[in-house]
Amino acid sequence: MGGAVRSAGHLQILNMLARAAGFQNFQHLRAEHDRPAPAEPQTVSNEARRLLRHFDDEGRLARWPKKFSEQRACLWALWAGLPRGEEWDEPAANAAIRALEAFGDHVLIRRELVEGGWIGRTDDCRRYWLIERAVPEEMSELAEKVRLRRAG
């Protein structure tokens, strides 16, 4: 009687190991292992979510808010995205602001940034610079979410 003992093949061994670990078979183990871990839910406050609707997917202001309080919040987010440590002439200031807005009225935004104290300018409007201010805590979440959209 030929009594040859057959050893288990590699797939049979893998299935045995998978069953020992509580899986149905090796394919089940592999499917569970290859599945990406669930992403951490990104919590965004209701206030930030409401304000983010004014920005497009690239972090540019898509429309000018009607409410004064929303305008101020959006201006904080725009100010936070402007280049630091530079002084600009008017065309450079316009270009920097145009890069952050998508509705086509950079002059409105520039005027609001100057009048609100975020940007300083000379009396003849030839030179512009950022006025360094601390972003208020209630605006920091919006500024960060807009920054992340710009980073892509």
**Residue 48: which of 152, 124, 148, 120 has the closest Cα?**
148
What architecture (CATH level 2) is domain 46-151? Orthogonal Bundle (1.10)
Tokens representing residue 90 in the block:
């008017």
* Prediction pTM value: 0.70
Q: Where are the domains of the chain?
A: 8-37, 46-151
What CA–CA distances, in Å, run from 121 to 89, 92, 109?
9, 13, 14
What is the tens place of the pLDDT at every residue in 112-146?
999 999 999 999 999 999 999 999 999 999 999 99
